[in-house]
Structure 1
Amino acid sequence: MNAPPSRRLAGFTLIELMVTVAIAAVLLVVAAPSFVNFQRNSELTSATNSFVAAVNAARGEAMKRGMNAMLVPATGADWSSGWTVFVDQDRSGTLNTGDFTVIQQPALASYFSATGQGTASETPAYIMFDASGYAKTKTAGFGALTMTIARNDLSGAALSEQTRRIVIAKSGRARACKPATDTTCTASADE
């Protein structure tokens, strides 16, 4: 009688498993910082797009309702705390209970800063559009302005690369740009 051929059991040895886990750990250590950077860059783009959408919503509501519409920081002059778009129905220049709220944006993540120029840097800060869709000041002048959203966890060239600016022309047109690659994307831009 012949003995059955011996069969080797299939599977991993302990050494093979340890080598695989070690390689996975090294890849994770290398990839994790890149993933965090990718995620924060994506959040920067999202915050910029949300701000441009809020500006366009304010302008659209002003023209649709034939009244001033405003975009203001959630708290004082700190745009990083979020923002609110409202139709200024009582023409007070501030958000009151009688005003129609269009959009409320929650605060940005702690690694972002948002700063304004023009009326967006006043106390209290604001962006206002009249019934024709023009960017205006509270003294009835035209008000071109800019907003800058940047990552505050970076410095030098990396910070410049991860900064976005929203330029609002006197006509009310808003555009987002990247100062690192666009020479017309300055804090004092008005077009």
Structure 2
Amino acid sequence: MKVSTSSRKTGFTLIELMVTVAIAAVLLVVAVPSFVNFQRNSELTSVANSFVAGVNAARGEAMKRGMNAMLVPATGTNWSSGWTVFVDQDRSGGLNTGDFTVMQQPALPAYFSATGQGTANETPAYILFDAAGYAKTKTAGFGALTMTIARNDLSGTELTNQTRRIVIAKSGRARACKPATDSTCTATAEE
């Protein structure tokens, strides 16, 4: 009986290893931008939903407490800096130390922009709900308005596809929509 001993070693050669690493690098180059795009689109939806939640919280607190409630940007007219929802207990029309803060949203990532129409674009910007839950202006008129949240790292058709708009009707009802697929989702929409 002859026993065969093999002196051949098993494993990968340097060339096989280099080919594997090259294939992995190509896959990463293709996959990473798609993942970043997916992540930012998901964040856009989350920010729009957070804004709708803030609007609904302000409206709900106004009706629950029988007082005006407001949603204001964290700094002046810049909605991208975040926002605060509060009950205007002293009826000053702005956030003061005596007011009840309901919730706060931190600043948005740098690749998002948020702009308002109507009272959300005044100086200072605001969204006001009266005790009946209606969207109002500080001069007691009804105030339908819109808020547009978009990715500022895109342009053209991609930008339109990655834009969300929150429409607040005079009745106080808020809805989020996508202008690329909803013809009623305009910056001047009132319902």
TM-score range, shorter chain: over 0.9
Amino acid across the alignment from 1:99: D
The answer to whether residue 189 in structure 2 is matched with residue 179 in structure 1 is no
In structure 1, the residue matched to 2:61 is 61
TM-score by length of 2: 0.97
Change (3 A) 1:66 1:7: farther
Mapped to 2, the partners of 1:7 and 1:173 lie a distance apart of 79
The answer to whether residue 152 in structure 2 is matched with residue 152 in structure 1 is yes
In structure 2, the residue matched to 1:112 is 112
Identity fraction in percent: 86
Q: Secondary structure at the match of 2:3?
A: coil
TM-score by length of 1: 0.97
The answer to whether residue 11 in structure 2 is matched with residue 11 in structure 1 is yes
Unaligned runs of 5+ in 1: none
Map 1:95-134 onto structure 2 (within 5 A): 95-134=95-134
Offset at 1:8? Answer: 4.4
Mapped to 1, the partners of 2:24 and 2:103 lie a distance apart of 44
In structure 1, the residue matched to 2:137 is 137
Amino acid across the alignment from 1:148: T
The answer to whether residue 46 in structure 2 is matched with residue 46 in structure 1 is yes
In structure 2, the residue matched to 1:164 is 164
In structure 1, the residue matched to 2:75 is 75
Unaligned runs of 5+ in 2: none
Q: Secondary structure at the match of 2:91?
A: coil
Q: Spell out, residue by residue over 1:133-156, the C-alpha distance to the aligned partner (whole angstroms, 9 max, x if none).
A: 110111111110000000111111
Offset at 1:13? Answer: 1.8
Mapped to 2, the partners of 1:50 and 1:9 lie a distance apart of 60
The range that moved more, 169-178 or 29-38, is 29-38
Mapped to 2, the partners of 1:75 and 1:125 lie a distance apart of 9
Offset at 1:10? Answer: 3.2
Q: Spell out, residue by residue over 1:149-170, the C-alpha distance to the aligned partner (whole angstroms, 9 max, x if none).
A: 0011111111111110000001
The range that moved more, 132-141 or 6-15, is 6-15
Offset at 1:5? Answer: 3.7
Map 1:24-43 onto structure 2 (within 5 A): 24-43=24-43
Offset at 1:9? Answer: 3.6
In structure 2, the residue matched to 1:93 is 93
Q: Spell out, residue by residue over 1:6-44, the C-alpha distance to the aligned partner (whole angstroms, 9 max, x if none).
A: 264432222111111000001111111111111111111
